[in-house]
Structure 1
């Protein structure tokens, strides 16, 4: 909607309003908003009263003493002119000029957005408050009914429902080809060869058994998947499958078939890790949720060396994981976003697990944590977060108790760091 021009001479004389813009009745409750200039020009008619005197006021804008025959635009008439105008943005544009939110006839909840969609070749990058784009201004952009605004090779996806703005920039993976080429990484065609290598190493039937072992022994401690996005040997990314197989191999003795098949010909764990790590180097430029899940499993895997420490490499993996998590907006709380409930709870679980890994690594390695409760919003779990977690109710209760232990450990680390700072300042 355009502001009325302050130059009255630039407007045609005797601008009129057509009969279709009149209110059906003077007694009808309408919204006293200013008439856009374009609507005035497009609906000019010689049979309507002139508002030339109103446009030629001393202030250069529309005067309030408009003849009552002209009428005002009602909210229903605005909806007729702006069919694709998102209802949630109307108040952002018009402020208090329109009717109150509870009286709008088209009020309702925005449609849910499938944010972490594995079927699309794009990565959702969270738009921060101090970045290149201004998320508060994005809230005033005209978007379609799904909350999207495509322009050039980027697409703005809004999931904003609460008080804080929440927008994602959907970026195609092809835009990172130049950066990957500069880093000397493999092309997408060469990266797809790792899929064939993994399937030759781990057939589909063995992969399904390893996934069941993962769901039985590891998922209760790391519920990073949901019932709507379970891992599959046929559809999951290569790097994620390799990480699942590597962390589930120590439990193959609990599967009768794997015990016989792999007893004399075990799977090379080092090869699985190489497949996952090489693919993750390629995918980290445009990280997705499976990338974060693969990094979590690589960090959760016990170290193979008992006499030496691989803390430097694990800290590198943790830093890369946190960087990818920030890109995907996992440092935010998605409870007020217009995404499905199972995606919101899955994101909350993954966010907390990253916070848990950072806490336990800081404690075991004697190093300060990389995350803090001031800039990581999901630091605890509740019973509601178990929705779609793919684990039993008893396992989820144990996970909540473990989450409480993480909170206690984090508080101890904060107090120890405070004591260290105080002792250093006093000395």
Structure 2
């Protein structure tokens, strides 16, 4: 089809007189161009638009797509006037425009996608990879034969999907005849996604007897699978599809290598997260797709993928102290519900589940639905307490911080009250892990972690910050600098301190009143630490064997530093005793549980490093805290 041609007879002729000239000049006076038209006057279009067929956007063979944004070069408000065909296309040579369909509606802007022939980007893809596609698939099948791949995908659906439902069970071919995909379905799946699924499922191989025996004699190819997935994601991002984002999100779940389990993540993780957020934006996932002319499975998958990358952005932002990539005013995707997890009902009939409630929670990925709602609260905590402007405004002001924290506590309370009983439970029988039961340990930990972050913000203004140390040029030398400082006379000694001076934390609020707000906040902060300590101490092998987001390792380390803060800032001997007791028990819990959960190793290492050199050598401590620690040594 040729490009749309303008219909000149239906438009007024161009006026080159004064009226035309004034259209390019500022409207300084209404009389210059006459009265403006009534904005509420309905537009009359010469003909009704053609019906548009529902068609997949992601399965267009040999074509890739990206959304045309509101301020993009191809103005969506211009494109809405185009003559799209019955498939929603305005075709050109190798570059086409696809109308999303279903929009605009009230408060929904027109949406269009730029669809491009993949051959246009072949040189870009070749620059990031030297392998032929057929060779890559043969490589994957040599690492994981299809019969083992079927089992790994089944493990993925059982153990990972309820917490991270970023694949389409419909597209995997799950039906009444099978609960694992066929070899043909695996062969149709993009290699980068399949490699990422295989690698993600490897930690659960012991729950499949055949894979368990195989891995007892043959080393797992996990690292090779991850390497293959990453290389292909970086290659395919030039002609990205949903599978590119799926594989990328799974790569973010990659466990830290054993020899690096105790160190902080490199900047790659956060940078890679940003790249995936950008990819999700390019694919238009930030736009509500339910009204669009896409297949039901594709709309469900797009919505789940949006919330998955949203959660990654918000939790990683909070945990590592970075500004989030996703702005609250730049997306309109509605909350997930059970309709986003519909699938062939025959699969539900084939799976043996304990009871109806558990059956629904698994099939509808309820852990993920509640996790997404908690991720929304994570964003609120970051924005209201830890964004740069909020931190600058709140850290010296306890009352203002308390006012900001109260609604966050209330929202957390309401979230927890909404949880079904099965997701609140702990210490369920280990024998149930081989069946499909809700996995909730990571979910409950994240809930408690948000409480920790709120209390941590409340602890900030309780103690005054010390005067920043004086600065000197490195070339000058510290000794010469100190001689110069000591030779100077100061009218007020407290206005300047040399580096050797002891600086004890100075309280900024009154905690003498046992019933006062300050004391109540401290006790509540200690109870928060006790609650998360009790949870970790009571974790069973079943809890530790569940799927955990890898950034939980930063969360455990955050708790270690939080309890340390309670001790370092303890305003009285009684508070110091309680905080020290919590710290000792926390170290014991980490030492006991880290054997079954490597995610706890950074939390333990952080504390062991501090204790190995002595807390008083690493922190300025109140006198009563130092005395307490000295008593422990004797």
Q: Same fold (TM over 0.5)?
A: yes
Aligned residues of 1:380 and 1:407 also touching (Cα < 8 A): no
Following TM superposition, by how much is the alpha carbon of 1:259 offset from its aligned partner in structure 2, in angstroms?
0.7
Alignment partner, residue 162 of structure 1 = 103
Alignment partner, residue 169 of structure 2 = 227
Aligned residues of 1:373 and 1:379 also touching (Cα < 8 A): no
Following TM superposition, by how much is the alpha carbon of 1:312 offset from its aligned partner in structure 2, in angstroms?
1.2
Alignment partner, residue 215 of structure 1 = 157
Q: C-alpha distance in 1, partners of 2:11/2:201?
A: 69
SS of aligned partner of 2:91: strand
Aligned residue runs from structure 1 range 335-414, under 5 A: 335-378=290-333, 380-388=335-343, 393-395=360-362, 396-414=365-383
Per-residue CA deviation, residues 256-307 of structure 1 (Å, 9 max, x unaligned), is: 0001112110222111111111111211111111000000111123323321
Structure 2 residue aligned with 1:256, among 183, 196, 209? 209
Following TM superposition, by how much is the alpha carbon of 1:251 offset from its aligned partner in structure 2, in angstroms?
0.2
Structure 1 residue aligned with 2:44, among 79, 83, 96? 96
TM-score, with structure 2 as normaliser: 0.49
SS of aligned partner of 1:336: coil
Following TM superposition, by how much is the alpha carbon of 1:407 offset from its aligned partner in structure 2, in angstroms?
1.7
Following TM superposition, by how much is the alpha carbon of 1:379 offset from its aligned partner in structure 2, in angstroms?
6.6
Q: C-alpha distance in 1, partners of 2:273/2:137?
A: 25
Aligned residues of 2:53 and 2:86 also touching (Cα < 8 A): yes
Aligned residues of 1:239 and 1:277 also touching (Cα < 8 A): yes
Following TM superposition, by how much is the alpha carbon of 1:346 offset from its aligned partner in structure 2, in angstroms?
1.4
SS of aligned partner of 1:258: helix
SS of aligned partner of 1:334: coil
Following TM superposition, by how much is the alpha carbon of 1:425 offset from its aligned partner in structure 2, in angstroms?
11
Structure 2 residue aligned with 1:185, among 119, 124, 128? 128
SS of aligned partner of 1:234: helix
SS of aligned partner of 1:152: coil
Q: C-alpha distance in 1, partners of 2:190/2:11?
A: 56
Following TM superposition, by how much is the alpha carbon of 1:368 offset from its aligned partner in structure 2, in angstroms?
2.3
Aligned residues of 1:191 and 1:279 also touching (Cα < 8 A): no
Following TM superposition, by how much is the alpha carbon of 1:157 offset from its aligned partner in structure 2, in angstroms?
0.9
Following TM superposition, by how much is the alpha carbon of 1:4 offset from its aligned partner in structure 2, in angstroms?
6.2
Structure 1 residue aligned with 2:72, among 131, 144, 147? 131
Deviates more, 1:406-415 or 1:287-296: 406-415
Cα–Cα, structure 1 residues 97 and 134, in superposed 2: closer, same or farther, change >3 Å? Answer: closer
Aligned residues of 1:123 and 1:170 also touching (Cα < 8 A): yes
Structure 2 residue aligned with 1:171, among 99, 116, 137? 116
SS of aligned partner of 2:276: helix
| Higher share in helix | 2
Aligned residue runs from structure 1 range 9-28, under 5 A: none
Cα–Cα, structure 1 residues 354 and 2, in superposed 2: closer, same or farther, change >3 Å? Answer: same
Q: C-alpha distance in 1, partners of 2:275/2:253?
A: 15
Aligned residue runs from structure 1 range 30-69, under 5 A: none
Alignment partner, residue 84 of structure 1 = none
Cα–Cα, structure 1 residues 421 and 113, in superposed 2: closer, same or farther, change >3 Å? Answer: farther
Per-residue CA deviation, residues 360-407 of structure 1 (Å, 9 max, x unaligned), is: 111222322211221132373223322339895213333222222212
SS of aligned partner of 1:171: strand
Following TM superposition, by how much is the alpha carbon of 1:6 offset from its aligned partner in structure 2, in angstroms?
8.0
Aligned residue runs from structure 1 range 193-212, under 5 A: 193-212=135-154
Alignment partner, residue 55 of structure 2 = 113
Across the aligned residues of Structure 1 and Structure 2, the Cα RMSD in angstroms comes to 2.7
Per-residue CA deviation, residues 26-57 of structure 1 (Å, 9 max, x unaligned), is: xxxxxxxxxxxxxxxxxxxxxxxxxxxxxxxx
Per-residue CA deviation, residues 182-214 of structure 1 (Å, 9 max, x unaligned), is: xx3235x63432211111111000111100000
Q: C-alpha distance in 2, partners of 1:385/1:4?
A: 45
Aligned residues of 1:311 and 1:365 also touching (Cα < 8 A): no
Q: C-alpha distance in 1, partners of 2:206/2:97?
A: 48
Aligned residues of 1:113 and 1:159 also touching (Cα < 8 A): no
Q: C-alpha distance in 2, partners of 1:228/1:308?
A: 40
Aligned residues of 1:206 and 1:258 also touching (Cα < 8 A): yes
SS of aligned partner of 2:8: coil
SS of aligned partner of 2:332: coil
Q: C-alpha distance in 2, partners of 1:384/1:299?
A: 27
Q: Return 5+ residue gaps in structure 2 as ranges.
A: 1-6, 14-41, 173-180, 349-358, 398-464, 466-634
Q: C-alpha distance in 2, partners of 1:333/1:178?
A: 33
Aligned residues of 1:243 and 1:294 also touching (Cα < 8 A): yes
SS of aligned partner of 1:151: coil
Q: C-alpha distance in 2, partners of 1:387/1:421?
A: 46
Q: C-alpha distance in 1, partners of 2:129/2:99?
A: 33
TM-score, with structure 1 as normaliser: 0.71
Q: C-alpha distance in 2, partners of 1:383/1:255?
A: 29
SS of aligned partner of 2:325: coil
1:269 counterpart = 2:222: yes
Query: Larger relative CO (CA 8 A, sep 6+): 1 or 2?
Result: 1
Aligned residue runs from structure 1 range 410-425, under 5 A: 410-416=379-385, 417=387, 418-423=389-394
Cα–Cα, structure 1 residues 379 and 147, in superposed 2: closer, same or farther, change >3 Å? Answer: closer
Following TM superposition, by how much is the alpha carbon of 1:344 offset from its aligned partner in structure 2, in angstroms?
1.4
